[in-house]
Structure 1
Amino acid sequence: MISVFGSANMDLVAYVSQAPRRGETVTGHRFRTVPGGKGANQAIAAARAGGEVAFLGAVGDDGFGAEMRATLAEAGVDVRGLRQVPGPSGVAHIVVDDDGGNAIIVVPGANATMSGPSGEDLAAIAGSQALLLQLELPMEAVVRAAQAARVSGVRVFLTPAPAQPLPAELLEAVTIIVPNEHEAAAITGLSRPDDALDALLELVGEVVITLGSEGALYGSRSGERLRVPARKVSAVDTTAAGDTFVGALAVARTEGRPVERALEFASAAASLAVQREGASTSMPKRWEIEAALT
């Protein structure tokens, strides 16, 4: 079982030729709403990659909340830990340009009510092999969930996004941290991924830095170093690439795949996701990932 303690947002996605600069108005050529949020995205990615997944989070009592619950359940995610609270659900305003790049504004909504894991959440975490965390919930809640997992001997995967200072009590509970190269630079102050990897290994025992089209860099305190190249594809929308990578990586690691094989599995999943539009809608199923690896 993989538990995901995280955010659920409705993504409001506008597609444009070029993202607007400050003070500029541009005309988009399409708009869509897609269930997302880093937590929900990782839960769906892991479920589609073949994992047994429980999602622990909050949505509002609006239509977006009902739609997000239905989307998670349809993907095979256990939503008994998805609570409903009064008020609006979280939303993410996303601009995607013709090169597949994106810019995102997140408004937390119901996610901000998550002050920490409930008793039911703690039981779910304790019964898991892995806990996936991100930083779109209040930091206090993330820290408490991580500490609960550590006490229970559960492996903790942290995606440090949005990038922000990481308290020592969180890092002490994290098994593996998975930033992208920009987040790694923001955390460490080092622009070269190899240097950032060394710095992060002083904080966490295992590190994966995702490098977009350049693949991923892995290191552990045992001295193992790996660089896994990305598959060469034409990106349409990179919105959920990182979440897809983490969800698939967690599945592969909990299944006992060697690190290099697990990274290849995650990279294949992400390469499929960027060729499709949207967040949760872009994530591949297990058979697609396995086919891409052959």
Structure 2
Amino acid sequence: MNKQLPVTVVGSINADLTVSVTRRPGPGETVMASGGGISPGGKGANQAVAAALQGAEVCFVGAVGDDAYAAPATAVLRSSGVNLTAVEKVPGATGLAVITVDETGENSIMVIPGANGAVDADLVDRWRDTVSAAGIVLLQGEIPASGFLAAVQAATGRVVVNLAPVVEVDRDALLRADPLLANEHEAGLILTQLGCDGAAAVAAGPESCARVLVEAGFSSVILTLGAEGALVATPEGCERIPSPSVTPVDTTGAGDAFAGACVARLAAGDDLVTATRHAVRVGAFAVTGHGAQDSYPEPGVELPGQE
């Protein structure tokens, strides 16, 4: 049996303010909404929770504010067993995401970084031992570029990157990703950042886009394709992984559920394709519930498409 590799997530923690609408408003338009509750979120926190619920041993490096949102923002991280020793409390506000979900389950998200802006090189360096001890380090795009670079430089194990949102980061650090996790839109922006014609690559289709990313220097790439599943690409070729059919309720955090589940299975010793097959099922489960972390499957729950 393969030994479970420890995972360290260096990323963002948010409080999510979610409202539901029949349809998202156009410019200058007011629509009536419901909801308005606060739930835990942040791409880093979401992925850490998803990984922990899928059996990974997870440590988190990040920051929250000294406000009332810090407790609800970290509640599910705590209950899912994520080690929060390296989460610092800083003066000011915890990160906040304002999420609008329409009746088809599609969402629009606005993020106020708050304390996540403190996850810079200095903070990451204070927890360098936590990062270097990890078998897998998982990163996103909701922290400062200096913190991203410091985490990659401290990593001695595998680096997995979901550069969402796509922000400017050190090129060599980004190319350490194995795999790079991205949707098609993000993949195009990343290729543009690397000096390639990202728009042309995306227009040519997922397989072509993934091949261009591998040719740009990534050891492996996983493109998420929404309801169509995912695509795994390496220098040896590409393989499509279909998604089970489900009725979406809320797509918030589904990509993070995929990322966390994928990393959990990589930490357990799965190959990329096997890990992606599992992650696609976890992502499909997540869209059938409301919110981000609250929609993630608990251990032992039967997943869509599971035999």
TM tier relative to shorter chain: over 0.9
| Residue 134 (structure 1) aligned with residue 140 (structure 2) | yes
TM-score of the aligned structures, taking structure 2 as reference length: 0.91
- The gaps in structure 1 that reach 5 residues or longer are none
Does the alignment pair 1:160 with 2:154?
no
Distance 2:190 2:125 in 1: 32
Q: Bigger CA drift: 118-127 or 139-148?
A: 118-127
Cα shift at 1:289:
5.1
- 3-state SS, counterpart of residue 163 of structure 2: coil
Contact 2:184–2:206 (CA under 8 A) maintained in structure 1: yes
CA gap 1:203/1:22 in 2 versus in 1, 3 angstroms: farther
Which has the larger displacement, 162-171 or 15-24? 162-171
Residue number in structure 2 paired with 1:215: 229
CA distance in structure 2 between the aligned counterparts of 1:266 and 1:273, rounded to whole angstroms: 10
Partner Cα distance (1:94, 1:119) in 2: 32
What is the rounded CA distance, in whole Å, between the counterparts of 1:128 and 1:16 in structure 2?
41
1:34-49 equivalences in 2 (<5 Å): 34-49=39-54
TM-score normalized by the length of structure 1: 0.94
Using the TM superposition, give the Cα deviation of residue 102 of structure 1 relative to its aligned residue in structure 2, in angstroms.
0.5
Q: Deviations over 1:202-223 (max 9, x none)?
A: 23110000000011011112x1
- C-alpha change, 1:292 and 1:73, in structure 2 (3 Å) is farther
The answer to whether 1:235 aligns with 2:241 is no
Q: Deviations over 1:112-165 (max 9, x none)?
A: 11212444521111111101100000011111101211xx2x111101111234
Cα distance, 1:107 vs structure 2: 0.4
Identity %, equivalent residues? 37
Give 1:285 deviation, angstroms: 1.9
d(CA) in 2 for partners of 1:195, 1:166: 24
Shift of 1:292: 5.2
2:271 is equivalent to residue 258 of structure 1: yes
2:183 to 157, 175, 180: 180
Number of equivalenced pairs: 290
Residues 1:226 and 2:226 aligned together: no
The CA deviation at 1:196 is: 1.5
Change (3 A) 1:175 1:261: closer
d(CA) in 1 for partners of 2:254, 2:304: 18
Cα distance in 2 between the residues matched to 1:100 and 1:124: 37
* Structure 2 unaligned regions, length at least 5: 1-5, 192-197
Q: 1:291 Cα deviation (Å)?
A: 7.9
Following the alignment from structure 1 to structure 2, what is the Cα–Cα distance between the partners of residues 93 and 125?
30
How far has the Cα of 1:259 moved from its partner?
2.4
Q: Check if 1:199 corresponds to 2:212.
A: yes
SS at match of 2:105: coil
Match of 2:109 in 1: 104
**Are the aligned partners of 1:269 and 1:289 in contact in 2 as well (CA < 8 Å)?**
no
Over aligned residue pairs, what C-alpha RMSD do you find?
1.5
Q: CA shift at 1:194, angstroms?
A: 1.7
**Residue 69 of structure 2 aligns to a residue in which SS?**
helix
